Structure 1
Amino acid sequence: MNKYEVVMYWSAADDAYIAEVPELPGCMADGKTRAEALAAVERVIDEWLETAAALGRTIPESKGRLQYA
Structure 2
Amino acid sequence: MNRYAINVFWSEEDGVWVADAPDLKSCSAFGATPEEALAELRIAMDAWVQAAREAGYPIPDARYQTHHEAAE
Higher Rg of the two aligned structures = 2
Question: Are the aligned partners of 2:2 and 2:61 in contact in 1 as well (CA < 8 Å)?
Answer: no
Q: What TM-score results when the alignment is normalised by the length of structure 1?
A: 0.87
SS of the aligned residue for 1:9 comes to strand
Query: Tell me, which stretches of 5 or more residues in structure 1 are unaligned?
Result: none
2:33 maps to what in 1?
33
Q: What TM-score results when the alignment is normalised by the length of structure 2?
A: 0.84
Question: Are the aligned partners of 2:23 and 2:62 in contact in 1 as well (CA < 8 Å)?
Answer: yes
Shift of the 2–61 alpha-carbon distance from structure 1 to 2, 3 Å rule, reads closer
How many aligned residue pairs are there? 67
Query: Tell me, which stretches of 5 or more residues in structure 2 are unaligned?
Result: 68-72
Identical amino acids, percent of aligned pairs: 34
1:7 maps to what in 2?
7
1:52 equivalenced with 2:52 (yes/no):
yes
User: RMSD value over aligned CA atoms?
Assistant: 1.6
